[in-house]
């Protein structure tokens, strides 16, 4: 389960609940979920909201995995 999916569950189980907590659109949460990671600019707020349930290392791991996938897709084009 990605950190995006975990944060959705921890915030109430819907993308809209998480969007409200982060003060962003549900569409953004949907995009993050499909990409498999949050942009780093959201890390401070996420860590504040989900203290002890989420670490910066987990967020970074998902971010780097998503970047690898993106690079691999570009190489195969």
Percentage of residues of the chain with pLDDT beyond 70: 99
pTM of the model: 0.89
Tell whether the model's pLDDT for residue 77 goes beyond 70: no
In angstroms, what CA-CA distances link 76 with 21, 53, 68? 37, 36, 13
Distance, in Å, from the CA atom of 62 to the CA atom of 38, rounded to the nearest integer, reads: 8
CATH number (2.60.40, 1.25.10, 1.10.20, 1.10.260) of 3-76 reads 1.10.260
Per residue in 35-72, pLDDT tens?
Answer: 999 999 999 999 999 999 999 999 999 999 999 998 88
Tell me the mean pLDDT in the region 1-15.
96
- The predicted structure's pLDDT at residue 74: 79
């Amino acid at each position: 389960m990605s950190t995006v999916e975990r944060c959705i569950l921890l915030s109430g189980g819907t993308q809209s609940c998480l969007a409200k907590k982060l003060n962003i659109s549900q569409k953004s949460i949907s995009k993050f979920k499909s990409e498999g990671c949050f942009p780093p600019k959201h890390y401070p707020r996420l860590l504040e909201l989900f203290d002890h349930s989420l670490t910066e290392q987990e967020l970074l791991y998902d971010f780097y995995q998503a970047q690898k996938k993106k690079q691999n897709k570009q190489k195969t084009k």
